[in-house]
Amino acid sequence: MFTGIIERIAKIVRIQPLGKGKKFLIDPGAKLEVSLGESIALDGACFTVVSLEGNNFWVEVSSESLSRTSFDKIQAGDQVNLERSLRLTDRLGGHIVLGHIDGIGAIKRIEQRGEFMEIEIEAPREVAGFLVEKGSIAVDGISLTINALSGQNFSAMLIPETLKRTTLAGKKTGERVNLEADIIGKYVARLLKKDKEAKGLTLEKLIEEGY
């Protein structure tokens, strides 16, 4: 589990084939305490540290993860947002992020507004249904607040601190980003769907019809 508060920007050093998947060697920059088997989020996707190489570490990316995230197009030298998993004693500064990507969005518009930057992203249909104004969403692992909604598009305002600590400052129109909708919204939607499907001939329905 994560919070969407990025610790640092890391770099993809090397990529190796692994069956239908791939292995990525990650350079976290300054020394980072990680251990074998630890869960770590890269651009919002949860991976497991499988081996260490000096200050760097390897993660394995399955074919399923490649098909559902932006990692199918990533190259050596690219930068990624890094966050280690949440500890029980940590503050929940962002929102609950599981590291399970729901879909890939596309950046439609970027506007500089003084020291701030507004970004508009088109979400796939399976993600757009969970978005609410002033709700939370993880974009490449970054916890953001949705400022406005328009169809499948949403916009968010990035503060200078977010721009400094994440990869979003270097993004361009048309680039793809990993999206994870708020888990609370997904549970609520699931419960409402099950409730709707379960409704049929109930006592409440009979009373409503005058029986």
Token pair, residue 20, equals 């239908």
The tens digit of pLDDT for each residue in 162-177 reads 999 999 999 999 999 9
Average pLDDT estimate for 126-131: 93
**DSSP helix, strand, coil percent of the chain (3-state; round to 5):** 20, 40, 40
Asked if residues 90 and 97 have their Cβ atoms less than 8 Å apart, the reply is: no
What global pTM score does this model have?
Answer: 0.88
Q: Confidence band (pLDDT; 50, 70, 90) for 156?
A: very high
> What class, spelled out in words, does domain 8-84 have in CATH?
mainly beta
pLDDT at 198: 58
CA dihedral 108, 112, 113, 119 (to 10 degrees): 30
Average pLDDT estimate for 185-209: 66
pLDDT at 13: 97
pLDDT at 194: 65
pLDDT at 188: 81
CATH code 2.40.110.10 for 103-196: no
Residues of the chain within CATH 2.40.30.20 domain(s) are 8-84, 103-196
Q: Confidence band (pLDDT; 50, 70, 90) for 210?
A: low
What are the φ/ψ torsions at residue 188 (nearest 5 degrees)?
Answer: -60, -45
